[in-house]
Structure 1
């Protein structure tokens, strides 16, 4: 395996740590911020004390890391069309992350009349959710064929299921006004953990040639 491919896939291993510490450090500059109740988007919302720093510390670097990791997956599994689709979905997620930072949500992130920036932020968030969820779903079927790993196939199924469950909990929390931040962090944490495991396994030597490109 070439060094460039290891470096690209290594970006996927870095993502969970960057996400954790980036959000933690940004939130420390936001008096009264609650990781349990408030969305991560509120760190970059219009009028927030961390409005200027959050996109540069979180959305932009994370977006670049996702794009690099997606490129690494694409290079590692050349010839496997569904793997290429999953790689493009990971890269799309990275671009949507950058977009979500460039278009901040309105103050409080729940305006009665959302601005264009808020609507584009919401669209970017939807693309982020769908892209990684679809990518993990594809690897339920690709894990055995390309990695020879039934265990990873089950892990993908578990992560996809938990992602759907937690997004439902996010919707309920949005209605009640409590717990949204916690469920959002669980939701995204599961997604980036899945990608980190894929990146780790892809860096190994047990990658099999695609049987049906």
Structure 2
């Protein structure tokens, strides 16, 4: 005769008060931490490497073994002005691109494929004040405001801090560029022209460097998909590589077009990231 056996069902996640997966055992609403004797080491390791824990969150904030779960990140430091700053960062680049477009259209003999933006603001340009103030200085102010929104809405990380510094450097550089126009044809022979060339570099390098650094910064934030993270890093790397090509005049016949393409990618990045930051800032109200 075969001996009958009774299998005891394995414990599963439940919502009973005594269950380790119960929301009542969660340290705080919305947290997904390990519950158990090995919680300390697991949470510490997950926070150091910023990877998911081997568990899953349950409704109300518990944890159940066997499925991937998450660890809370440090909360961002929103300010009242974070959302308006992000909105300005979203719309400002469109104004800058429109000013440059109009300046090129009304300047006789200007070739946007061959000539750069700086030539629209040169000392002999008929639209120098429009471009220098309405494009370069305005872009610098927009980058500074965007940097403030970027730092206060994104969750803290070393990547965020360094990217913010790059944006600030770029913003200050662009404001300065607006007050030191290049010489005619941007063949810089005077002190003012040389200062223009020197101050243009931080603006070009700063934004593209911030784009590259934002890849890991967005990952650490946890609210951006991998497409956002990789797109930011790779597009920033491409924009960064165009700088030496333009400066060395390797592709001089299409130098203006190359600059416009690089600047367009950078401004679209600022605008789209700013839109996301505005959404996040609005949700925290």
**TM-score w.r.t. length of structure 2:** 0.65
Aligned to 2:147: 70
Aligned to 1:167: 243
Runs of 4+ off more than 6 Å: none
More helix by share: 1
Give runs of aligned pairs for residues 191-202 of structure 1, distance below 5 A: 191-202=266-277
**CA shift digits 1:179-208 (9 cap, x unpaired):** 1110000111111112222212222339xx
Instruction: Identify the match of residue 81 of structure 1 among 158, 162, 165.
Output: 158
Higher normalized contact order (CA 8 Å, seq sep 6+, divided by chain length) = 1
- Aligned residue-pair number: 204
- Report the Cα distance in structure 2 between the residues aligned to 1:188 and 1:160, rounded to whole angstroms: 11
- Residue pair 1:78, 1:84 contacting (<8 A) in 2 also: no
* 1:142 corresponds to 2:231: no
- Report the Cα distance in structure 2 between the residues aligned to 1:163 and 1:176, rounded to whole angstroms: 15
Query: Structure 1 stretches of 5 or more lacking a match?
Result: 207-213
Aligned to 2:202: 127
**TM-score w.r.t. length of structure 1:** 0.86
Q: Kindly tell me: are residues 49 and 198 of structure 1, through their superposed partners in 2, closer, same or farther at Cα, counting changes over 3 Å?
A: same
- Higher mean alpha-carbon deviation, 72-81 vs 18-27, is at 72-81
Please state whether the residue corresponding to 1:35 is helix, strand or coil. Answer: coil
Aligned to 1:210: none
- Report the Cα distance in structure 1 between the residues aligned to 2:280 and 2:126, rounded to whole angstroms: 47
- Residue pair 2:212, 2:234 contacting (<8 A) in 1 also: no
Aligned to 2:9: none
Q: Kindly tell me: are residues 47 and 154 of structure 1, through their superposed partners in 2, closer, same or farther at Cα, counting changes over 3 Å?
A: same
1:49: Cα distance to partner?
A: 1.4
**CA shift digits 1:6-51 (9 cap, x unpaired):** 1101122113311221101122331111111101000110111122
* 1:179 corresponds to 2:244: no
1:77: Cα distance to partner?
A: 3.1
- Report the Cα distance in structure 1 between the residues aligned to 2:234 and 2:165, rounded to whole angstroms: 22
Q: Kindly tell me: are residues 100 and 139 of structure 1, through their superposed partners in 2, closer, same or farther at Cα, counting changes over 3 Å?
A: same
Instruction: Identify the match of residue 19 of structure 1 among 96, 110, 116.
Output: 96
Aligned to 2:171: 94
Query: Structure 2 stretches of 5 or more lacking a match?
Result: 1-77
- Report the Cα distance in structure 2 between the residues aligned to 1:147 and 1:194, rounded to whole angstroms: 18
- Report the Cα distance in structure 2 between the residues aligned to 1:144 and 1:175, rounded to whole angstroms: 36
- Report the Cα distance in structure 2 between the residues aligned to 1:53 and 1:161, rounded to whole angstroms: 31
1:3: Cα distance to partner?
A: 5.1
**CA shift digits 1:95-140 (9 cap, x unpaired):** 11111111111111024xx211112111111101111121111112
- Residue pair 2:88, 2:145 contacting (<8 A) in 1 also: yes
- Report the Cα distance in structure 2 between the residues aligned to 1:44 and 1:142, rounded to whole angstroms: 35
Give me the CA root mean square deviation. Answer: 2.3
